[in-house]
Amino acid sequence: MPAEPISILKSINSGKVYPLNEVRFTSDNGELLDVIHDFERIKKQHKISKEYFFKKRVIINDQPSGGVWHFKELILPEIHDDHIISKQEGNTRLYRSKKVSSWLALKQDKFYLKHEGENPTGSFKDRGMTVAITMAKQLKQKAVTCASTGNTSASLAAYASEAELTGLVLIPKGNVAVGKISQALAYGTKTLVVNGDFDDCMRLIREAQEKLSAYPLNSINPFRLEGQKTIIWETLMQLNWNVPDWFVFPGGNLGNTSAFGKAVFEAYELGLIDRMPRFAVIQAEGASPFYKAYKNNFTGLKTEKAETIATAIKIGDPVNYTKAVRSLKWTNGIVESVTDEEILEAKAHVDSAGIGAEPASCATVAGIKKLIAAGEIKPKETVVGILTGNILKDPQVIVDYHLKKKSPLANPPYDIEAAIGEMKKFL
């Protein structure tokens, strides 16, 4: 008798299953797909436990590798190591900051910032990209595409180059931070600037999959989410598998919200954790369809025209909505929204603490501030905030902030003559 496959694609509501090697992103009736692994078998095969992951050593491309592929048997158990396309993504730092925690009035030993901006191309997108691009190769795809607010295109560009695949990225005109678009150009993908917004780009990507056989690497691709699960597992390991009370992170297309829910659900199922953390998803006020749906008890998503300085979460029609709702149900989760001004203030604090992150990432910290004020997050609780992207992604926002006199933490540059007396004034 042929063995049952260890991993399958499964539609999230109707439960209809498809083989892993079928190129598809929704079920026949349009539902999102999960990658589902047979954990009973995997657990038996590998004796999965907390200790297993502590002791395990992974070698990819002849190098010791933690991060994403440390959890290979829970992501793509059957992939041959030699077929993995990896830049050693993950292994990011978990910071404790005296400055930021005191601004938030949280205990320094209970507040952590997980910095996903420390990935190879400067955002968490690399964690999903390594898995999805590996699958693209397995599925013998020729061309890969994405719609992007910037970071997905930077990541796709770097990985497509490594994998020798033709890359095509779609970015909305005038809305992408300079650090991100320059990466896409530098790594050598074809960059198409679309006269429209992110949601228009996303629509084109779905059409290009059907009509041009271009393989999408957006978070509608369920393999992307498999990689992004490791943000949670890695953090849990850094915390000795102790479960924090809260994970707080920004929501745009809601890929992380979906992946993180699956990560804690699976960790619980595998006995790696004994309770579920709570999630708080933070949206920018001008791009908050998920927040509004939450306020209406998830009776439906109303798409909107998005507007915010945090371009990475400037999305009005999140593709992963149904998965994200499920994540919040699993984690007794909440959604909050913050203004651009609150994002910039939080960013100034994260930046001046010597950590730094791009605007969308700092929505996390602005959200924590607001949730503490509202009494949702208690000062004694353990909080992990996810910083999604690197400070250098959006330098323009930083310069603009510090050149404005009315910015509360403005730290402008000063012009001086080349004389020591001029320097003395500043000491």
Ligand X SMILES: *Cc1c(COP(=O)(O)O)cnc(C)c1O
Q: Is 389 in the site for ligand X (CB under 6 A)?
A: yes
Which of 147, 169, 243, 254 binds ligand X (CB under 6 A)? It is 254
Q: Which of residues 38-97 bind ligand X (CB under 6 A)?
A: none
Which of 313, 355, 368, 398 binds ligand X (CB under 6 A)? It is 313
- State the nearest-atom distance from the C-beta of 381 to ligand X, in Å: 23
Q: Do strands 59-60 and 63-64 pair parallel, antiparallel, or not at all (unpaired)? A: antiparallel
Separation between Cα atoms, residue 191 and residue 263, nearest integer Å: 33
Q: Is 219 in the site for ligand X (CB under 6 A)?
A: yes
Which of 71, 358, 385, 391 binds ligand X (CB under 6 A)? It is 358
* Residues near ligand X (CB under 6 A), total: 19
* Secondary structure of 63-129 as H, E, C letters: EECCHHHHHHHHCCCCCCHHHCCCCCCCCCCEECCHHHHHHHCCCHHHEEEEEHHHCCCCECHHHHH
Which of 60, 68, 236, 360 binds ligand X (CB under 6 A)? It is 360
Which of 36, 267, 312, 383 binds ligand X (CB under 6 A)? It is 312
- State the nearest-atom distance from the C-beta of 219 to ligand X, in Å: 6
Per DSSP, the three-state class of 351 is: helix
Q: Is 388 in the site for ligand X (CB under 6 A)?
A: yes
For ligand X, the closer CB: 125 or 262: 125
Which of 119, 141, 153, 361 binds ligand X (CB under 6 A)? It is 361
For ligand X, the closer CB: 250 or 333: 250
Helix (H) or strand (E) segment spanning residue 395: helix 395-403
- State the nearest-atom distance from the C-beta of 169 to ligand X, in Å: 13
Q: Is 309 in the site for ligand X (CB under 6 A)?
A: no
**DSSP E strand boundaries for 120-254:** 143-147, 166-172, 190-194, 215-216, 246-250
What tokens appear for 314 in the block?
Answer: 């400037």
- State the nearest-atom distance from the C-beta of 272 to ligand X, in Å: 23
Q: Is 221 in the site for ligand X (CB under 6 A)?
A: no
Q: Which of residues 134-163 bind ligand X (CB under 6 A)?
A: 151
Binding range to ligand X, per CB under 6 A, among 94-102, 245-253, 328-336, 414-422: 245-253
- State the nearest-atom distance from the C-beta of 250 to ligand X, in Å: 4
- Residue 235 has phi, psi (to 5 degrees) of -60, -45
Q: Is 120 in the site for ligand X (CB under 6 A)?
A: no
For ligand X, the closer CB: 246 or 260: 260
Where b means 16+ CB within 10 Å and e means fewer, 222-258 reads: bbbbbbbbbbbbbbbbbeebebbebbbbbbbbbbbbb
Q: Is 328 in the site for ligand X (CB under 6 A)?
A: no
For ligand X, the closer CB: 73 or 317: 317
Question: What is the distance of C-alpha 398 from the center of its chain?
Answer: 22
Query: How many residues are present in the chain?
Result: 427
- State the nearest-atom distance from the C-beta of 252 to ligand X, in Å: 3
313 secondary structure, DSSP code: G
Helix (H) or strand (E) segment spanning residue 420: helix 420-424
Q: Is 263 in the site for ligand X (CB under 6 A)?
A: no
Binding range to ligand X, per CB under 6 A, among 99-107, 157-165, 250-258, 407-415: 250-258
Which of 66, 172, 179, 250 binds ligand X (CB under 6 A)? It is 250
- State the nearest-atom distance from the C-beta of 151 to ligand X, in Å: 3
Binding range to ligand X, per CB under 6 A, among 246-254, 297-305, 333-341, 402-410: 246-254
Which of 253, 288, 327, 337 binds ligand X (CB under 6 A)? It is 253
Half-sphere exposure of 387 (CA within 13 A, CB side): 31
Q: Is 256 in the site for ligand X (CB under 6 A)?
A: yes
In a 10 Å sphere around its CB, with 0-12 CB exposed, 13-18 middle and 19+ buried, how is residue 425 labelled?
exposed
Q: Is 201 in the site for ligand X (CB under 6 A)?
A: no
Which residue(s) pair with 114 in the sheet? 94, 386
Helix (H) or strand (E) segment spanning residue 335: strand 334-338
Q: Is 255 in the site for ligand X (CB under 6 A)?
A: yes
In a 10 Å sphere around its CB, with 0-12 CB exposed, 13-18 middle and 19+ buried, how is residue 423 labelled?
exposed
Residues 6+ positions from 15 with CB-CB distance below 8 Å: none
Separation between Cα atoms, residue 189 and residue 157, nearest integer Å: 5
For ligand X, the closer CB: 72 or 127: 127
Which residues contact ligand X (rule: CB under 6 A)? 123, 125, 151, 219, 250-257, 312-313, 358, 360-361, 388-389
